[in-house]
Amino acid sequence: MKLKIALFLLLSVVPVFASPQKKSYIGYKHKGVVYGATLPNGVKDLGGGLLSNDRYGVSRFKKSGADMLWLEKITERDEKGVPTWHVKDVLIFNALKKNQEFLMSYSSSCTQNGRANVDLIVLAELSASKKSYKILKAWKANLKSEKFEKTPTKNIVCEVSAV
């Protein structure tokens, strides 16, 4: 009986901690920064890339051990051309392995069913010894809804220079 109560409490409390963290980033605005810099909210920039509409991008950030992908939109540029980004959607990953990497945008272009798609974001497990990769998950950045959408991994092929 105590185990059931403990399990119920754990399952009812965990979403409270996970959900607000994601929502707190949606709507966040920040100036563009260089790779490795830390934003005022404490997240570290790990790079990203532009999407098919170059007013949108997907950037990778890290904070407190969690990796995040932010779907962002450029809302303005300052007099030096530095963009102001507005976070539209967030994916959070708590336990990426060292050999897991995000493949996205023009730097690791991917095709699905033989068609190029720079709005595709792929989480892959890289194997240097086999010089190959395994696709674990994939999302499409839907620019109309400004949301990440899960997409089937079937028939996705990516250019991976690090393998």
Residue with tokens 């904070």: 63
Both tokens of 144, joined, read: 């109309």
With a CB cutoff of 8 Å and minimum separation 6, the contacts of 82 are: 31, 32
pLDDT band at 38 (very low <50, low <70, confident <90, very high): very high
Q: What is the pLDDT of residue 108?
A: 82
- What is the average pLDDT across 19-24? 55
Residue 33 · residue 47 · CB < 8 Å:
no
> Structural domain boundaries of the chain?
2-158
pLDDT band at 5 (very low <50, low <70, confident <90, very high): very low
H/E stretch holding 52 reads none
The pTM of the full predicted model, rounded to 2 decimals, is 0.82
C-alpha triplet 113, 119, 121: angle, nearest 5°: 85
Residue 125 has pLDDT above 60, yes or no: yes
pLDDT band at 105 (very low <50, low <70, confident <90, very high): confident
Beta bridge partners of 71: 58, 89
Encode pLDDT of 53-104 as tens digits: 999 999 999 999 899 999 999 999 999 999 999 999 999 998 899 999 999 9
Q: What is the pLDDT of residue 162?
A: 52
Q: Rounded CA gap, 85 and 55, in Å?
A: 9
| Structure-derived torsion over alpha carbons of residues 151, 156, 161, 162, reported in degrees to the nearest 10 | 60
pLDDT, averaged across the chain: 84
